[in-house]
A = this chain, B = another copy of it.
Amino acid sequence: MQIRDYKDADWPLVWPVFQEIVVTGETYAYDPGWSSDEAKSVWEEAAPGHTIVVCDGPRILGTAKMGPNRSGRGSHVSTASFMVASDARGRGAGRALTEYALAWTTEQNYAAMQFNAVVESNHAAVRLYQALGFHIIGTVPEAFEHPVLGRVGLHVMHRFL
């Protein structure tokens, strides 16, 4: 398993991962109707942001993007988003991506990392982030329409770097 910078030629392998996750609809408030081009423009972070992939040989297991959470007077706080293909889970790809994002944003001199919308029923993600030092700042009630559970909360999570 290896992490490297995303490049334009990766999109045909990243798009199925993106699509599977958004269509399953349990973790992202993204529009499942987005075209490949629309999704690509959401996922490819322009500078000063950064997009990466985690690979197993030629196969892309997952991807992450990171950058400033806000502009101007909020741009010292970073944010990041992660996706791992369902059949690649349980092998540490999510942890590897998150640790990479923390190292990269620390090196870029961000003061903190903030997640704006962690679905509270996504226990694997919440546990991972907590294990990596994130705290739940608060939970916006009923803010995510889960396809099985109905409306569940969205955690705001944060850690200093």
A residues bordering B, Cβ < 8 Å? 22, 25, 28-32, 69-77, 111-112, 114, 116-117, 136-147, 151, 154, 156, 158, 160
Flag if B29 contacts A74 (CB, 8 Å). Answer: yes
CB contact between A145 and one of B31, B76, B139 (< 8 Å): that residue: B76
Contacts of A25 in B (CB 8 A): 72-73
Asked whether A73 lies within 8 Å of B29 as measured between CB atoms, the reply is yes
Contacting pair A73 B144 (CB below 8 A): yes
Nearest B residue to A155 by beta-carbon distance?
B138
Q: How far is the CA of A76 from the CA of B158 in the complex (A)?
A: 24
Pairwise interchain contact A77-B30, C-beta atoms closer than 8 A: no
Whether the Cβ atoms of B138 and A71 lie closer than 8 Å is no
